[in-house]
Amino acid sequence: MEEINTYGQDYIVVRAEENGVTIWGLTRGSATKFHHTEKLDAGEVYIAQFTETTSAIKIHGKAKLYTKHGVVDVG
């Protein structure tokens, strides 16, 4: 039976509400590590996707996080 890849089906949108919002992508596996960093200024939007590599995202700063579950105020 062929394995179905379900990674990459969930997206989030991060909209920076202030300058200097930082987003980190964290790896999957037994040792979680930072693998990607983005820095946003007020009004900038970042669209992220969970993948085979990315299992979590950390956000620092004042931002709005849009997901299929709703909107979250960060910071």
Residue 26: how many other CB atoms lie within 10 Å: 15
pLDDT at 39: 97
Q: Taking the model in full, what pTM does it have?
A: 0.80
> Residue 53: which CATH number?
2.60.40.50
* Residue 57: inside a domain: yes
Determine the Cα–Cα distance for residues 75 and 60; give it in Å rounded to an integer. 7
Angstrom distance (rounded) from CA 59 to CA 52? 20
**What pLDDT does residue 32 have?**
81
pLDDT value of residue 55: 82
Per-residue pLDDT of the chain (75 residues; tens, 9 = 90+): 555 565 557 889 999 999 999 999 888 878 888 888 999 999 999 998 887 778 888 999 999 999 989 999 998
Number of structural domains, the chain? 1
3-state secondary structure of 66: strand
Predicted pLDDT of residue 53: 79
20 within a domain of the structure (yes/no): yes
Q: Is residue 4 part of a domain?
A: no
